[in-house]
Amino acid sequence: MILNTVWFILVTVLFIGFFFLEGFDYGVGILLPFLGKNDTERRAVINTIGPVWDGNEVWMITAGGALFASFPNVYATLFSGFYLAMVLMLVALIIRGVAFEFRGKRESKSWRALWDWAIFTGSLLPALLWGVTVANLMRGFAIEQDMNYYGGLLPLLNPYGLLGGLVFVSLFTMHGANFLTRKVSDGIAERAKKAAFTFWIVATVLTVAFVAWTFFATDILTKPGINGLVPAVLAAVTLLVTGWLIRARKSGWAFITGSLTVVFATIMVFAGLYPRILVSSLDPSWSLTIVNAASSPYTLKVMTIVAAIFVPIVLVYQGWTYWIFRKRVEAKPEELTY
Amino acid sequence: MDPLLLSRWQFAITTIYHFFLVPLTLGLSILVAIFENRYVATGNETYKRLTKFWGKIFLINFAAGVVTGIVQEFHFGMNWSGYARFMGDIFGAPLAIESLLAFYMESTFIGLWVFGWDKLSKKMHLAAAWLVAIGSSISAFWILIANSFMQNPVGYAIENGRAVMTSFLALVTNPNLPYQFLHVLAAGITTAGFVALGFSAWHLLKDKKGDIEFFQIAFKWAAAYALIGAVMVGLVGDAHGKYLGKHQPMKIAAAEAIWDTADPADFVVVAAIDEEAGKNGFEIRVPNALSFLLYNRFTGEVKGLNELQEEAKAQYGDGNYIPPVALTFWSFRIMVGVGTLMVLLAFLAVVRPKVKFLNKSPLFLKALFLAMVLPYLASTFGWILTEEARQPWIVYGLQKVEEAVSPNLSAGTVLFSLILFTLLLGATVAVTGWLMYKYGTSDPKAEKAAEY
């Protein structure tokens, strides 16, 4: 039983890594067409995430894989239930993934503009769809007794779900703008700083509305025992501090506190769900939990050993990569790779 | 049309797209690392240019490989939730391990390799190249552990209507795995060899004012690499066939269109297959040759499809357990035929400098350029063979494909995604191919002007 909880925590950690890392590179992608005034500047923007975006995306792939290995029923219910949302997400990730590689391969202006917008769309859509998905997980959806959801896409696009989507988009955009402020120089950095503040305002307003709605419409913040209240408060505090730090031009600190907001918000979601993973809105006993959705104790044991060995190794070499590429990217064509 | 059929088409099409890209990633990552290794060991700048030139082709291909791979991962939950529930305990583990061991490694060190030319020492940069190559092979290894289980389930028990893992060791020592892994790895080496050979041949043929010496060196390496790969594919494939003859007789019987049990068994070269009637019409046979292929002697029983069908019915209950025979039979012949042709071409490419006739023949260079398509044909039909010859099972003997499909999908929904993925991934593969052609036929001296 304890391994079920260990894996719930590990899946949470993988989603934290995913939202924290892909969060800023989705944000950078969303800001790309607006912050880069010419091709060289846009290349500089892309180069800030060039060496790391692929590694960041692996956090999503691993979160999915870990979910499959530890809670296969969740994987089955979620991915088949949210089928069309997943299709759209894949479409976005496909065009985004190839866009980074294809963009620089031709000089033509229209070719590059095409892939700039592909990066924009490919970053915006997953941010939105993950937000919609997470909000629906918090509120619960119509899972039937056979663990399947038959409702299709439309019921998931409810106002609460869509608000969740917008919260994700605005938070990630702010997060990406904070990252850019640190990673580029001069004019672009100044524009990134302005964007960070604008999106901080938007994110704060939307987040307040979303948390209030969450308080009344779900039990995430209020259920007895472990719930999301404390991390929600911490997320709110770090978000407020982030706004102040952006204004005070302490961009490094603003990035850190903004990151903490993403981390605490993710913890809020999972703490509020625990020990459930997928909540059935039809009958609480039809919910998928860390018990009825889990793999066998043997598989969980094997996977725990594997994770205990390899997760630290991954953290070390990914951290090292960020250290290697810690310098600001200058908007000088001869120094740019993409 | 029903969601099951559409889901099967979707999986088949997206897998084939994915496997247009994977073998080149596997093989070319190693070749690029070998070139960089030579550069670091000898300090010869030509090898640095070779590294960068083929590295660029590798990167274009890799990006598309990643995105088609994510589609495959999501599929198991999206279209095959019955499979995910039944098999998650076993299948999820290697998939997650692949991600943890291989994907992080590949993606992180590719970032370092691309952006780190002037940020890392020569040796660290070389290490990054090797780690990318090793990561790619590890990735193939773990996903093939998962696929090997589907072909040959080991180390499991059935509990509460689902398969659970009882021995992780049995899973990673699946006797089917070494054949499958080495076959795929060798196919990757062959693919990279033929792609490098094809573009080198193009330059030697067309680019008279270009860097002839550069591409002569590339040609020499590529030819040897292609020959090693192609011979290894054949040897491993032959050993795999012998293994399957013992352990998955239905697969062999279908691939060879053997309807009736025979001892000794003839090898059917070509046949007009009548699946309805359960026999072949016209056929060309080589007496006793199939027994020889499977057992290395001219006797030995090979069970026919009709008898195996009766055995399966007795074991699993009523139903049709014979895979699509004509499809597997012809896929097998295309795979082996193309594979043999590649061994021949790679051999001729290796001896080209010594044979005057070949050395002067523009026709041979043209043939090598066109031969770039061959490894892709062989890989595609290889996978069609191995996956189709397992039908009606998704997991051999444990779960049928029809039980694996998600119950909550409508035909319209799957049709929509099928069309979308077919077009989008088709376009992705097409643009990838076009960019590879553009860079493969570009002048390596103009490197600085290009994007990297």
Q: What distances in angstroms separate CA B379 from CA A69, B422, B440, one per listed residue?
A: 29, 19, 22
Question: In terms of residue numbers, what domain contains A33?
Answer: 2-329
Give the integer Cα–Cα distance in Å for B52 and B39. 11
pLDDT at B281: 83
Closest-CA distance, B154 to chain A, in angstroms, reads 14
Report the candidate in B371, B160, B103 with the shortest Cα–Cα distance to residue A63. Answer: B103
Give the integer Cα–Cα distance in Å for B360 and B205. 10
Closest-CA distance, B259 to chain A, in angstroms, reads 39
Q: In chain B, positions 69-128, which contact chain A (CB-CB < 8 Å)?
A: 70-71, 73-74, 76-79, 81-82, 84-85, 87-93, 95-101, 103-105, 107-112, 114-116, 119-120
In a domain, A232, yes or no: yes
| Residue in B107, B159, B435 to test binding to A, most A beta-carbons within 10 Å | B107
Give the integer Cα–Cα distance in Å for B261 and B146. 32
Q: Tell me: the pLDDT tens digits for B240-280?
A: 998 998 888 899 999 998 888 988 888 888 888 888 888 88
Whether the Cβ atoms of residue B252 and residue B307 lie closer than 8 Å to each other: no
Does residue B232 or residue B107 have the better pLDDT? B232
Task: Catalogue the E-assigned strands of B150-227.
Answer: 156-159, 162-165
Which residues does residue B302 pair with via DSSP β-bridges, in sequence order?
A: B262
Residues of B in contact with A58 (CB under 8 A): 99, 103-104, 107-108
Report the candidate in B56, B299, B324 with the shortest Cα–Cα distance to residue B195. Answer: B56
Give the integer Cα–Cα distance in Å for A196 and A181. 8
Contact with chain A for residue B423, Cβ under 8 A: no
Q: What distances in angstroms separate CA B431 from CA A101, B371, B374, B377, one per listed residue?
A: 11, 20, 19, 19
In a domain, A337, yes or no: no
Q: Which two tokens stand for residue A119?
A: 């990066």
Q: In chain B, positions 123-182, which contact chain A (CB-CB < 8 Å)?
A: 159, 164-166, 168
Give the integer Cα–Cα distance in Å for A325 and A337. 13
In a domain, A338, yes or no: no
The residue to which tokens 């918090």 are assigned = A138
Upper half-sphere CA count for residue A330 (Cβ side, 13 Å):
4
pLDDT at B447: 53
Per-residue pLDDT at B337 exceeds 50: yes
Percent residues over pLDDT 70 in chain B: 98
Q: Which two tokens stand for residue B387?
A: 């996956």
Q: In chain A, positions 74-133, which contact chain B (CB-CB < 8 Å)?
A: 75-81, 83-84, 86-87, 90-91, 93-95, 97-98, 100-102, 104-105
**Bridging pattern class, strands A276-278 and A288-289:** antiparallel
Does residue B401 or residue A333 have the better pLDDT? B401
In a domain, A335, yes or no: no
Closest-CA distance, A256 to chain B, in angstroms, reads 22
ipTM of the prediction = 0.89
Mean pLDDT, to the nearest integer, of B69-96? 93
Where does the pLDDT of residue B448 fall: very low under 50, low under 70, confident under 90, or very high at 90 and above?
very low
DSSP state of B264: S
Q: Which two tokens stand for residue A123?
A: 């970053």
In a domain, A177, yes or no: yes
From A55, A78, A306, residue closest to B77, measured CB to CB = A78
Which stretch, A232-236, B108-112, B355-359, has highest mean pLDDT? A232-236
Mean pLDDT, to the nearest integer, of B78-93? 94
Q: Which two tokens stand for residue A199?
A: 């999106």
Here the contacts of A308-314 (C-beta below 8 Å, separation 24 or greater) are A310/B100, A310/B101, A311/A10, A311/B100, A314/B100, A314/B104
The residue to which tokens 């573009």 are assigned = B199
The residue to which tokens 């193939």 are assigned = B140
Low-confidence ranges of chain A (pLDDT < 70): none
Least confident of A30-44, B130-144, B198-212, B299-313: B198-212
pLDDT at B446: 62
Report the candidate in A181, A114, A266, A334 with the shortest Cα–Cα distance to residue B451. Answer: A334
Other Cβ atoms closer than 10 A to B317: 8
Size of interface A-B (CB pairs under 8 A): 227
Total of domains in chain A: 1
Contact with chain B for residue A222, Cβ under 8 A: no
Q: What distances in angstroms separate CA B59 from CA A193, B39, B129, B452, one per listed residue?
A: 33, 19, 12, 11
One-letter amino acid at A60 equals M
Give the integer Cα–Cα distance in Å for A271 and A290. 13
pLDDT at B279: 84
Contact with chain A for residue B413, Cβ under 8 A: yes
Contact with chain A for residue B434, Cβ under 8 A: no
Whether the Cβ atoms of residue A176 and residue A26 lie closer than 8 Å to each other: yes
Residues of B in contact with A55 (CB under 8 A): 104, 107-108, 111
Which chain A residue is nearest to residue B95, measuring alpha carbons?
A: A65
Per-residue pLDDT at B148 exceeds 70: yes
Report the candidate in A64, A71, A28, A63 with the shortest Cα–Cα distance to residue A46. Answer: A28
Q: Tell me: the pLDDT tens digits for B201-210?
A: 999 988 767 7
The contacts of residue A35 (CB under 8 Å, 6+ apart) are A41, A45, A180, A188, A191, A192, A195
Q: What is the dihedral of CA A201, A202, A207, A209, to 10 degrees?
A: 110
Across all residues in chain B, what is the average pLDDT?
91
In a domain, A334, yes or no: no
Per-residue pLDDT at B451 exceeds 60: no
Least confident of A17-26, A318-327, B42-51, B339-348: A318-327
Closest-CA distance, A174 to chain B, in angstroms, reads 25
Closest-CA distance, B399 to chain A, in angstroms, reads 16
Closest-CA distance, B155 to chain A, in angstroms, reads 12
The contacts of residue B438 (CB under 8 Å, 6+ apart) are A105
In a domain, A285, yes or no: yes
Q: Which two tokens stand for residue B347?
A: 């051999």
pLDDT at B449: 38
In a domain, A57, yes or no: yes
Per-residue pLDDT at B445 exceeds 80: no
Q: How far apart are the first and last CA of chain A?
A: 48
Whether the Cβ atoms of residue B411 and residue B3 lie closer than 8 Å to each other: yes
Does residue A179 or residue B213 have the better pLDDT? A179
Whether the Cβ atoms of residue A122 and residue A93 lie closer than 8 Å to each other: yes
